[in-house]
């Protein structure tokens, strides 16, 4: 299951070559740091969490059996470390109320987003994503950005399949609602011009 290169470096580290761990850190630091940042919304905390994640991974590398991808195993450590940090700081996002989504709603938001430059659009989406509650934000990130399968998300979060599906669906709806609220003035303008 594990990538051959990863396995090679994991074996090297287990055999005492500490420097081989740099390859694994360099490969996955962006992934773990971004997940921690999306969940905690703090760069300092994300840096600390992701460093702890790699150190924990190093200490427990011999326990990694290779049944799953190394990235999924790392993701699991990072995800739980971020959850622990959130619990410790008792930080939680205010949630947007979610109603049923209509086709027109998706269409009008899409129309406005298409009219915005890619870079700016990505910034808007990023801001909207961080307004989601941390569990929903991480679901969206894992599924759509890092392209983890449902099975892998279940492995990372240790939630049931039904629970993951519900959370993912709720997260998609809430994200659309937040994006819609953010670009609402543009939508009004857009349809006013028509």
| Site map (CB under 8 A) of another protein, residues 2-41, x = contact | ----------------xx-xx--xx--xxx-xx--xx---
CA atoms within 13 A on the CB side of 115: 12
Which two structure tokens, joined as six digits, stand for 69? 């991808």
CA atoms within 13 A on the CB side of 72: 22
By the rule CB under 8 A, 96 interacts with another protein: no
**Given candidates 12, 42, 64, 111, which one binds another protein under the rule CB under 8 A?**
64
By the rule CB under 8 A, 103 interacts with another protein: yes
Q: Are 59 and 14 in contact (CB under 8 A)?
A: no
Return all residues near 111 (Cβ < 8 A) that are at least 6 apart: 187, 190
Q: Which is nearer to another protein, 120 or 192 (CB)?
A: 120
**Given candidates 176, 181, 182, 187, which one binds another protein under the rule CB under 8 A?**
176
Q: How far apart are CB 42 and another protein at their closest, in Å?
A: 11
By the rule CB under 8 A, 46 interacts with another protein: yes
SS3 assignment, position 117: coil
Give the integer Cα–Cα distance in Å for 131 and 97.
12
| Site map (CB under 8 A) of another protein, residues 131-160, x = contact | ---------xx-xxx---------------
Q: Are 115 and 187 in contact (CB under 8 A)?
A: no
Q: Are 131 and 146 in contact (CB under 8 A)?
A: no
- Residue 44 burial by CB count (10 A; 0-12/13-18/19+): exposed, middle or buried? exposed
Q: How far apart are CB 122 and another protein at their closest, in Å?
A: 4
Count of residues that bind another protein according to CB under 8 A: 54
Give the integer Cα–Cα distance in Å for 99 and 143.
22
> Which residues contact another protein (rule: CB under 8 A)?
18-19, 21-22, 25-26, 29-31, 33-34, 37-38, 43, 46-47, 50-51, 54-56, 58, 60, 63-65, 76-77, 80, 100-103, 106, 109-110, 113, 118, 121-122, 125-126, 129, 140-141, 143-145, 169, 172-173, 175-176, 179
């Amino acid at each position: 299951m594990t990538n051959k290169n990863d396995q090679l470096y994991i074996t090297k580290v287990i055999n005492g070559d500490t420097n081989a761990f740099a390859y694994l850190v360099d490969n996955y630091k962006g992934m773990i740091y971004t997940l921690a940042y999306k969940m905690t919304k703090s760069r300092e905390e994300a840096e600390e969490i992701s460093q702890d994640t790699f150190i924990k991974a190093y200490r427990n590398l011999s326990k990694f059996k290779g049944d799953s991808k190394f990235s999924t195993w790392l993701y699991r450590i990072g995800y739980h470390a971020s959850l622990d940090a959130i619990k410790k700081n008792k930080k939680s996002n205010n949630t947007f109320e979610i109603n049923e989504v209509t086709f027109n709603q998706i269409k009008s938001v899409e129309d406005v987003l298409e009219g915005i430059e890619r870079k700016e659009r990505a910034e808007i989406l990023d801001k909207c994503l961080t307004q989601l509650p941390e569990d929903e934000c991480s679901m969206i990130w894992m599924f759509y950005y890092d392209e983890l399968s449902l099975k892998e998300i279940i492995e990372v979060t240790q939630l049931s399949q039904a629970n993951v599906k519900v959370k993912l669906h709720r997260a998609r709806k809430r994200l659309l609602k937040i994006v819609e609220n953010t670009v609402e003035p543009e939508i009004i303008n857009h349809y006013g011009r028509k």
